[in-house]
Structure 1
Amino acid sequence: MKNIDIEKRKEEILNAHKFRFACKEFDPDRKISEEDFKFLLEVGRLSPSSFGFEPWKFLVVENEELREKLLPAVWGVRRQMPTLSHLVIILARKGSEVIYSADYITHMMRDVHKMPDDKIKERREKYRVFQNEDFKIFNNEKDMFEWSIRQTYIALGNMMTAAAEIGIDSCPIEGFNKEELEKLLESEGVLDREKFGVSTLIAFGYRKENPHREKTRRPMEDVVEWIK
């Protein structure tokens, strides 16, 4: 790629980040096309994760009745719900699903990564050491679930950035009562609480109006320390 093309691409990426903000009200008359939304989901699917184990699942909530039922538990989306185009609930796998000996981990290595048995054994041992010695989360359900949640935020960030790059707005949402939301989703038959818990939500659409002020961030010298 020519240097001029690289510089142009860098400028486009930075402009997308400057464009992106947590949109609180969307244009109700504009909906994201099926093609564009599938593109965002594909970006999420292709996102990296620790050991490549992808401990996530994306629930795309299109059902209007269910959206209304969510409102008491998901207070952070009440303002956006009437106008958003798409709502995604990101689930994270629980500790029993991501422990080194879990069936899901075996499935990922054998069926997705296509690893031979000797490599699976080697990889599993490295993962066991990681859980037991490096991060010390072995047999700690809460810590392993939090580890899964951290992986989902990689996909979340990638989807928001990709959306901004094609002019789509988004808003990440942590404003919810986790217990109430999970019980509701379980009662609706869309969540297996033995395997998954809610990580976060994200609303997508097109902004009704531009933000009222410029994006504010700390200066680079406050954010970055060079160690030479």
Structure 2
Amino acid sequence: MTAMDAARPPRTRRLHPLPVRILHWINAATMIVMILSGFGIYNDEAILDWVFFPHWLLLGSWAAEHLLWHLAGMWLLVLNGAAYLAYGLISGRFRERFLPISAREVLATVRDTLRLRLSHQDITVYNAVQKLLYIGVILAIIVQVATGLAIWKPVQLAWLTALFGGFQGARLAHFIGMACIVGFLLVHVALALLVPRTILAMVLGGPRIPPQPAE
């Protein structure tokens, strides 16, 4: 190592690179479109008689408009989601941010949360529950796309519809998946508001961290 190399500051990177931030906010906007238009589609043919969404919460004023919004959002969700998955896998971000994870770590994090001992000082590292939730919501969105296609094209994609137990089974799975994603988003937003630095990090990139070992 030369004297110049020793004097050079260590190479760092942002916690959230620009592609991640762009993909994140596009996905956030797209999910809002999908959920609110989906509420309208659900109201047109409810699965549960006691579950009904108020008109002010819907995106669109009538059935055809709900569907148009939903289909427009679907294509953006698929394209943006594919880009996000490709970036996360190829760059190694998923491996770095979500792994390793173990049941023992998850239980320990839950215990610390219940005892109000969970620290939020270091936003550069996810705790075990966060890792589990992020992995879970990624898988849930993939299943949502599959069930959505099964509902949209039950004849052309009969094999896919059959995987979910038929048209009504696909509708039920789609509804349950939506409920899980909405639950995740509510918790995600609540935690972000409790720790505003996480919002700023997703806007500005966050603190600088060392490069990945593979870099």
TM over 0.5: no
Normalising by structure 2, report the TM-score.
0.22
Query: Relative CO higher for 1 or 2, CA cutoff 8 Å, sep ≥ 6?
Result: 1
- The structure with more strand, counted as a fraction of residues: 1
| Larger fraction in helix | 2
